[in-house]
Amino acid sequence: MSGWFLGVDGGQSSTTALVGDEAGRVLGAGTAGPCNHVRASEGREKLSRAVSGSVLEACRRAGLPERVHFRAACFGMSGGPADKRAILSEILPADELVVTDDAVIALTGATGGEAGVVTIAGTGSIAFGRNAAGRAARAGGWGYIFGDEGSGFDIVRQALRAALRYEEGWGPETALLFMLLEATGAADAGDVLHRFYTTEWPRPRIATLSPLVDEAARNGDAVALDVLRAAAQQLAALAASVRGQLFGAGEAVTIAYVGGVFRSQFVLERFRALIELEEGSRCQAPKYGPAAGALLEAYRAAGLRPTLVDLPEFKL
Q: Where are the beta strands (DSSP E) in the chain?
A: 4-10, 15-21, 26-32, 70-77, 94-101, 116-121, 125-130, 136-140, 253-258, 281-284
Looking at residue 128, its pLDDT comes to: 96
Judge whether residue 41 has pLDDT over 70. Answer: no
Q: Is residue 151 part of a domain?
A: yes
Q: Are residues 67 and 177 in the same domain?
A: no
Q: What is the pLDDT of residue 1?
A: 46
**pLDDT by residue (tens digit) across 137-166?**
999 989 889 989 999 999 999 999 999 999
Mean pLDDT of all residues in 31-55:
75
User: For the residues 247-270, what does the mean pLDDT come to?
Assistant: 95
222 within some domain:
yes
199-234: burial string, b at 16+ Cβ within 10 Å, e else:
eebebbebbbbbbbbbebbeeebebbbebbbbbbeb
Q: Is residue 233 part of a domain?
A: yes
Q: Which domain holds residue 198?
A: 113-286
Q: What is the mean pLDDT of residues 303-311?
A: 83
| All residues at 6 or more sequence positions from 52 whose CB lies less than 8 Å from its CB, including other chains | 32, 91
Reported as a pLDDT band with limits 50, 70 and 90, residue 299 is: very high
Q: How confident is the model at residue 37 (pLDDT cuts 50, 70, 90)?
A: low
pLDDT mean over 162-191:
97
pLDDT band at 3; cut points 50, 70, 90: confident
- For residues 226 and 309, which has the higher predicted lDDT (pLDDT)? 226
Q: Give pLDDT, residue 314.
A: 46
- pTM of the predicted structure, to 2 decimals: 0.86
* Rounded-to-integer distance, Cα 264 and Cα 57, Å: 32
Q: Compute the average pLDDT of residues 47-62.
A: 88
Q: The domain spanning residue 243 has which CATH number? A: 3.30.420.40
- Backbone φ and ψ of 6, nearest 5°: -130, 135
- Edge-to-edge strands of the sheet including 281-284? 136-140, 125-130, 116-121, 253-258, 281-284
CA–CA gap between residue 27 and residue 159 (Å, rounded): 43
pLDDT of residue 40 exceeding 60, the answer is: no
Q: Are 223 and 176 in contact (CB under 8 A)?
A: yes
Give the lowest-confidence range in 46-50, 71-75, 234-238, 269-273: 46-50
Q: So what's the pLDDT on residue 312?
A: 65
Rounded Cα distance, 295 and 88, in Å:
16
Residues 36-44 have a mean pLDDT of 60
174: in domain: yes
DSSP 165-206: HHHHTSS---THHHHHHHHHT-SSHHHHHHHHTSTTS-HHHH
pLDDT confidence of residue 85: 78
pLDDT in tens, 96-110: 999 998 899 999 999
Identify whether 312 is part of a domain: no
How confident is the prediction for the chain on average, in pLDDT? 90
pLDDT band at 2 (very low <50, low <70, confident <90, very high): low
Residue 309 lies in a domain: no
Q: Kindly state whether residues 207 and 147 are assigned to the same domain.
A: yes
Coil, helix or strand for 263? helix
Q: What pLDDT, on a 0 to 100 scale, did the predictor assign at position 57?
A: 92
Q: For the chain, how many structural domains are there in total?
A: 2
**245 close to 237: Cβ distance less than 8 angstroms:** no
Residues 296 and 279 in one domain: no
pLDDT band at residue 38 under the 50/70/90 scheme: low
Per-residue pLDDT at 178: 97
- For residue 218, is pLDDT > 90? yes
The stretch 228-251 carries a mean pLDDT of 96
Do 297 and 233 reside in the same domain of the chain? no
* Kind of pairing between the strands at 15-21 and 4-10: antiparallel
The predicted pLDDT at position 45 comes to 80
